[in-house]
Structure 1
Amino acid sequence: VSPALGRAAHPTGGFVVPALGQLGSSPLLAVPPCPSPPIIRNGQHDSKEVTEFVPGMAVKYHCDPGYVLAGKSSVSCLPSGVWSIPYPRCEGELQMLPVAEGRRAVYHPGDNVTFQCHPGFVLRGSRGAKCQPDSRWVPAVPTCQPGESCAHFGGTGNKLVALLKFPKRRQAWVF
């Protein structure tokens, strides 16, 4: 037994540590090492160079670019030879979406957006989409394409409404 660490290698694999209150005397208990730390999607741990993981050791995780850590950032090797749970998770960080005038807005997973084209353009695709944890928009982001439309202007009190007629659809713009 190493006096500095209070443990020694066990011939069957694992480590021998003094029983509680028995430092420097018998009995000694065999403690199994942990396997390599869990692999997580879109991230990795900081202990790639370590070859043996003994109880009490902890490893920290970080996420790949475009992902953020959800939950705890580390796991610990338990005396039973398994890693603590829950394991860290890397989720889609945010989604950049082009908006008017070339600027961008930042959206997070779960955010919903509604799209609208400027007058003289026709929306091709879905009017709304939701940012997913994997940084995709569902359904896909639509496009605005130049299109012909016939406008009918009519008064409604102090507002002016333009009814834009598209095939099988009408859309009202209130000014």
Structure 2
Amino acid sequence: MSPTITCLQSGVWSEALEFCKRKQCNHPGEPENGRITALADLFFGSTVVYSCEEGHRLIGKSSRRCEIYGGRVAWSGDIPTCQRIPCKAPPSIPHGKHTGRLLDEFHYGTSVTYSCEPGYPMHGNASIFCTTQDGKNGVWSGPPPLCGEAGCSAPQIQNGRIVPAPRSTYAHKDTVTFECEPGYVIRGPRVVQCQQNNTWQPPVPTCEQGKWPASTAGATLPQCPLTL
């Protein structure tokens, strides 16, 4: 194609043919278990953006650009891959087992179910599953259950006490109430509950020495009588 135009007898230029065209890349391709989320066209300078299906994480760069390489155009980099999000092996529990103990890998969506030995009652959810909170790393949906009688020892509070009188141990979901000795004020919740992992929640409060109310600051306190 000639890059020349001619002035015609009519006083106008001959038709200016388009002889400089933007080069075009081939289709950039899609990753398995992924898709293209943004692509306007295939011309030089265009950008393609990738994402993965739920339960998969992107390995590689999430975008590529149609660029010039030695006189031709091609997409920068490689197509990323979409990898199933893995979880660590589910935790083992005393006097119990789970259905995934023969598996080598655990991925997003995998579930395991626990069972307890005879004579050890289960506390908590029997099944947990692999999920994710950040779209990259796998976590289990909750803690594993416990096998056996859940029990908490009596909580200790300095300058305070449990009312009524404390027991030596407490069962799962039992509650205790605290009060402070005279001259001390409680900081934190008055009532806590025994959890299935043998801890108290919310955390046990503290008893702190009381202070004069702010309204008495700077006031003259009554004199104490002298003892002769």
| Same fold by TM-score greater than 0.5 | no
Q: Tell me the TM-score normalized by structure 1.
A: 0.42
Q: Which structure shows the bigger proportion of residues in strand conformation?
A: 1
Q: Which has the larger radius of gyration?
A: 2
